[in-house]
Every structure is written in structure tokens, then in C-alpha cells.
Amino acid sequence: MAFRKRREALRSILAGSACTRPGSVYDATSIRIAWDLGFELGMFGGSVASLAVLGDPDIALITLTELAEQMRRMSRAAELPVLVDADHGYGNALNVRRTIEELETAGAAGLTIEDTLLPQAFGQSGTQLIPLEEGVGKVKAALAARRDASLVVIGRTGAVSITSLDDAIARARAYQATGVDALFFTGIKTRTELEAIAAATTLPIVLGGAPEDMSDPLYLASQRVRIALQGHAPFAAATQAVYETLKALREGLPPKALKGLASSELTGRVTREAEVRARSRDFLGLRN
């Protein structure tokens, strides 16, 4: 299948012994830059997807169609394997099945399904979890929906910081029993928590954020953490750069006086200008 090589690359990361730091990607340009820089994996987070597509915060407003279309654009732009945050699967277990179908055909190398209650319930200010049995049903639906067996499906829980460590372990073990390829944890704050989870499970671990004293890749690898996220700084940096550039122009600075702009050489590399010129010559008879 067209995207199997990317999915097998993600599986190799999970089956390895090292901890990989993925690059945060959110559009065709960012994924090409990550690919050119040699990242082994891209992470397409739900929060950055909402920001890039809608300009809205991460409150479950983005739709499956919008997420899948953005993933499709990235898949076309670069061959980098991408792990997609599929949130709660956009509904119940049957919706999860549709989520798998759409993201698989869009080229995702893998995706995560979490047990957070989304969207936020009426009158509830704190984050809530769905019942364990419902979470298991969602994960089973995700696994059953795969048409390409190499697609990576990861069960995710934030129970450590929402309910308790014991609940997180119980959920992780239940998701592990369904046959998922890895376990994704958010909200882990201490090495004690991570070590307890690693001791209670056997699958590769994906870690969504951690305190500074847990940033050592060798330590994380020793606890079976194979992927450790490092936030979405690229989008934040891009936002700041666009803001400062537009602000300077609005205040009257001439375009030629702007600083920090991408060179024509870098822009040409990112847009694959040489390849486009070659195609124009070969297929359109143009002599550039």
C-alpha cells in the first residue's frame, strides 16, 4: 500500500530501544521542513490542528473531515511518518471506526484514541474520563477498522492527572489487552509514576509532555518510552514571526528592511522549486 513504508518506519521506532523526539508538524510547509531536517517522525497534535485549521483553541471544535484533509495535504507534501492525535475519535465507538478509515486513507502512519470525555460536558469545569468499558470499546473499534494492518493504533489516557495512578494503570492494562500497538500517557509528573506504569505494562510507551527532570532520553528509553513529545514550539514560533512581520509592515517599515525572512534559497528548497522547474521543462516544454 502507498503509505505502508511510513507505517513500518513508525513500527520500527516503537520496536527499537531508543527514545525518539518527533517534530511537531501542522501543514505542508512544516512537514517538509521536518523531513528535510531529518526528523524520523512527525506529530500532528489536536491542539495545533485546531490552531492551524481554525485559529481556535483546543476545545474539540475541529471536525474529523478537517483533520483528515490537513493530514492528506501533509502526506502529499513529504514522506515523513506522522502520528496523529485523533482525540476521542470524534464520537462513540462507531465514530472511531470512521476516524480510522479517514485517517488511514489520508496517510497517517499511526493515531491515538483517548478516553477523555469530549467535548466538555455541560456544567463540568474539569477534565473528565469516559468509563473504562467505553474506552475499551473505542480501542477495539479502532483495531477492527484497520484495512492496512501496518497502521499503528495507540491507546491513550490522561488518567494519571485526572483520577489516579491506579486508574491509569488499570486503563492501560485494559487497552493493552485489546491488542493496541502502544500506550500513550499524558499528565505524568514524576519518575515514580512513570516507573510504576512501565512496570505494570509491556507495550511501548508514548509520553505526552514531562517535567524537566524526566527529559533525559536515556532514562526515558530505560522505561520503554519510545516516543516523547516536546510540545508545539514550531507553530508558536511561526505565529510570533507572522505577528512581528505584519506589525512592522503596519507601522510603516519597508518590506526590504524586514529581518528574519526566509531566503529565496530556503523557500525554493521547501517548495521543491527545482523539481517543479524540471517538470515544466519535461512536460510543458518550458525552458527556464
Binding-site positions read 47, 85, 156, 232
| CB 210 within 8 Å of CB 191 | no
Q: What is the CA radius of gyration of the chain?
A: 20
Binding-site positions for substrate read 47, 156, 232
DSSP annotation of 119 reads S
Q: Which three cell numbers stand for residue 219?
A: 532514562
Binding-site positions for Mg(2+) read 85
> Which residue is it, cell 455541560?
122
Please compute, for residue 203, the number of CA atoms within 13 A of its CA located in the half-sphere on the CB side: 24
| CB 71 within 8 Å of CB 83 | no
| CB 59 within 8 Å of CB 105 | no
| CB 23 within 8 Å of CB 34 | yes
Helix (H) or strand (E) holding 85: strand 82-85
> Which residue is it, cell 513529545?
229
Distance (Å, whole) CA 93 – CA 141: 6
Of 245, 154, 255, which Cα lies nearest the Cα of 205? 154
